[in-house]
Structure 1
Amino acid sequence: MAFSCSLAGGVILGVALWLRHDPQTTSLLYLELGDRPAPSTFYVGIYILIAVGAVMMFVGFLGCYGAIQESQCLLGTFFTCLVILFACEVAAGIWGFVNKDQIAKDVKQFYDQALQQAVVDDDANNAKAVVKTFHETLNCCGSNQFTALTTSMLKNSLCPSGTNIFNSFMKEDCHQKIDELFSGKLYLIGIAAIVVAVIMIFEMILSMVLCCGIRNSSVY
């Protein structure tokens, strides 16, 4: 029973750490435009998963020890911890659902601001570096086909190597690439959260059944 909780916690922790250190998101969300850092709201959900995974591993060992010792106190503590974790996960899920579109929107606004500075100002080296990182990481150019064409004509060095006026129309715009990147990552977070929630529900039911069984057996 509790071993599956520890195992699930380890899996969730591994997925969260992989998402946290994913090269694409890391290279984009560590950028700075002047004194303004890139939006890091995406990492809030990742940190919650890391915390939940680590605590689940500890709570799982607590439940295992309580089951071996047939301790109502430890099993009750195990149940209480699961309830708290479940409540935190539900709250995080609601927050993620509300902010799922805002995350990509903030990153796109950050990119648009950098692109505008890079195209207008020849001395905006910081903005050019930010834009080139977006273009090379996502293999895109411009926020739409028009800006991709404009960027290729005016600032060809900002676009990925090999991009010219003709194949600018063939490349996906960066707004679409940003949406795809974060929707895919949030989809993984959602799957992980659902799996954890289902396991927690079963763990809570089984821990209460076991606790009641121990209490009834002690009466006789």
Structure 2
Amino acid sequence: MAIGFVGCIGAIKENKCLLLTFFVLLLLVFLLEASLAILFFAYTDKIDRYAQRDLKKGLHLYGTPGNVGLTNAWSIIQTDFRCCGVSNYTDWFEVYNATRVPDSCCLEFSESCGLHAPGTWWKAPCYETVKVWLQENLLAVGVFGLCTALVQILGLTFAMTMYCQVVKADTYCA
């Protein structure tokens, strides 16, 4: 947002310094995004392993004070995707040190249903379920990424065009 503000002020005031600053900052953001995308595809397997490991560690924060967002996120994911745990419902056994799961893992939600038998819990692993959903929606994610890149490239083009026009106007006026 700050970068956009610099670009707007630079365009309104026709200020060479602000236009060039906007161009450089937008170029850096674009290159950073492109680099991250390349690294993501190059290291997909490692990212996959680290994500599973870190999600399992994060389960231990479920329901703890100060982690309402994480607790709500897990509850929503497990309810909406009809899954339980990272690898399976037994991931929760370590968290609770007992044979139980959060109520959001239950086939039919009711208070304290996570204390009942495993037959009443979702069996699907959340990590794989969400991963499959992302793969099914990869086209939408790709289109969004390309549209974002196009807007940034247009911003770079327009910023440099305006910068050149301001420089040219300054040269003729001097």
TM-score (norm 1): 0.45
Pick aligned residue for 2:83 from 112, 136, 140: 140
The answer as to whether partners of 2:14 and 2:166 remain within 8 angstroms in 1 is: yes
Summarize the Cα distance change of 1:86–1:108 in structure 2 as closer, same or farther, 3 Å threshold: closer
The answer as to whether partners of 1:89 and 1:193 remain within 8 angstroms in 2 is: no
1:201 alignment partner in structure 2: 153
1:37 alignment partner in structure 2: none
Does 2:38 correspond to 1:86?
no
The answer as to whether partners of 2:6 and 2:22 remain within 8 angstroms in 1 is: yes
Higher share of residues assigned helix: 1
Question: How far off is 1:191 after superposition?
Answer: 5.9
Distance 2:20 2:74 in 1: 53
Distance 1:174 1:63 in 2: 42
Distance 2:137 2:145 in 1: 12
2:163 alignment partner in structure 1: 211
Distance 2:158 2:56 in 1: 52
1:38 alignment partner in structure 2: none
Does 2:100 correspond to 1:157?
yes
Summarize the Cα distance change of 1:172–1:76 in structure 2 as closer, same or farther, 3 Å threshold: same
Question: How far off is 1:141 after superposition?
Answer: 4.7
Summarize the Cα distance change of 1:110–1:178 in structure 2 as closer, same or farther, 3 Å threshold: farther
Match runs of 1:40-55 below 5 Å:
none
Distance 1:78 1:192 in 2: 23
Distance 1:103 1:72 in 2: 42
Summarize the Cα distance change of 1:135–1:195 in structure 2 as closer, same or farther, 3 Å threshold: closer
Question: How far off is 1:166 after superposition?
Answer: 5.2
Match runs of 1:111-190 below 5 Å:
138=78, 139-141=82-84, 143=87, 157-158=100-101, 160=106, 161=113, 164=117, 171-177=123-129, 179-180=131-132
Question: How far off is 1:214 after superposition?
Answer: 2.0
2:50 alignment partner in structure 1: 106
Q: How many residues of Structure 1 are paired with residues of Structure 2 in the alignment?
A: 143
Question: How far off is 1:102 after superposition?
Answer: 3.6
Question: How far off is 1:70 after superposition?
Answer: 1.6
Question: How far off is 1:206 after superposition?
Answer: 0.7
Question: How far off is 1:88 after superposition?
Answer: 1.3
Question: How far off is 1:80 after superposition?
Answer: 1.4
The one-letter code sitting in structure 1 at the alignment partner of 2:40 is: G
The percentage of aligned residue pairs carrying the same residue is: 28
